[in-house]
Amino acid sequence: MPELPEVETTRRGVEPHVKDQRVKRLLVREGRLRWPIPPDLPGLFQGQRIERVERRAKYLLFHTAAGALLVHLGMSGSLRLVPPSQQPARHDHFDIELAGGNVLRYNDPRRFGCCLWVAYGESHALLENLGPEPLSDSFDGALLYRRSRGRKGPIKSFLMDQKIVVGVGNIYANEALFLSGIRPNRAAGRISKARYQRLADQVKLVLTSAINHGGTTLRDFVGGDGKPGYFAQQLYVYGRGGEPCKHCSEKLQESRISQRTTVYCVACQR
């Protein structure tokens, strides 16, 4: 699943090509995504000038004077710039045709993404109750410590709760917990403020590094330029269950926490 760095990589890749461009047409081939594309959406978006592209959590917002197109990549989605003459592939579900000639094409084999509309001055249920951005100043160890008090669930599930902090998905939760020396099944409410500050710092470092490397290469993800990300070669634990720890050579353990694959080192994490 594309996580925050992959979505941010996509945002940075497409914004220079769509900013200040007027929308010629929103062409919908398949509207049956996770939530159906509203039938009036092409008319609402057509003719609007895209002022900027913003990321909130794992959502992309194409802002115009009338409102914003809200796009989520789901589990396998991608946005790519293609020439108008390029024929659509099987899972190319909609195109944003720009007056300047470019086409921003959405591909999603599993159709778990979305394309919705947020009118100017209004909010959307998908964006409400979200926690702070992990790369913002409002996210730190003090916030994690305060919100974790009394929680008996595992720290990994707590860190992946979008109401606590947005965008820390499975890959980067594994990595940040390893680099913080915190075992993923440890109760969130039993971690000290000092350790939470280290965890918050590592979350920021891991996500920033992944963004700078273009995201993590997975089976489905490619960036806005059609090229895969290259952060996978930097991973310490994710996808390496049974292999030696890069720090101590102990065999990495693999388990399931909240139905998600979890890899950790029994020697380096406690």
Is 105 annotated as a binding-site member? no
Q: Is the pLDDT of residue 230 over 90?
A: no
Q: What is the pLDDT of residue 148?
A: 98
Q: What is the pTM of this model?
A: 0.88
Which long-range contacts (C-beta less than 8 Å, at least 24 apart) are formed by 229-236? 229/5, 229/6, 229/9, 231/5, 234/209, 234/210, 235/171, 235/175, 236/175, 236/178, 236/179
Q: Is there a catalytic annotation at residue 240?
A: no
Q: Residue 232: which pLDDT band, with cuts at 50, 70 and 90?
A: low
110 known member of a binding site: yes
Q: What is the pLDDT of residues 59-105, one digit of tens each?
A: 999 999 999 999 999 988 999 999 999 999 999 999 999 999 999 99
Task: Give me the mean pLDDT over the 12-21 stretch.
Answer: 94
The reply to whether 25 sits in an annotated binding site is no
> What count of residues does the chain have?
270
**54 belongs to the catalytic site:** no
94 neighbors 25 (Cβ within 8 angstroms): no
What confidence tens digit (pLDDT) does each residue in 20-69 have? 999 999 999 999 999 999 999 999 999 999 999 999 999 999 999 999 99
Q: Check residue 223 and give its pLDDT.
A: 53
Pairing state between β 78-82 and 59-63? unpaired
Distance set, CA 16 to CA 21, 110, 228 (Å): 10, 28, 19
- Per the annotation, the verdict on 228 as an active-site residue is no
Considering the candidates 2, 5, 134, 184, report the single residue annotated as catalytic.
Answer: 2
Given the candidates 3.40.50.2300, 3.30.300.10, 3.20.190.10, 3.40.50.150, the CATH classification of the domain at 4-127 is 3.20.190.10
**Residue ranges per domain, the chain?**
4-127, 141-264
CA–CA separation, 112 and 91 (whole Å): 12
> What mean pLDDT is reported for the chain?
92
Q: Which two tokens stand for residue 134?
A: 């992990």
Structure tokens at 17: 């090509």
Is 152 catalytic? The answer is no
Fold entry, domain 141-264: Helicase, Ruva Protein; domain 3 (1.10.8)
| pLDDT (mean) for 142-153 | 98
Q: What's the pLDDT band for 213 if we cut at 50, 70, 90?
A: confident
**pLDDT tens for each residue of 160-203:** 999 999 999 999 999 999 999 999 999 999 999 999 999 999 99
> Of 58, 80, 156, 195, which one is the catalytic site residue?
58
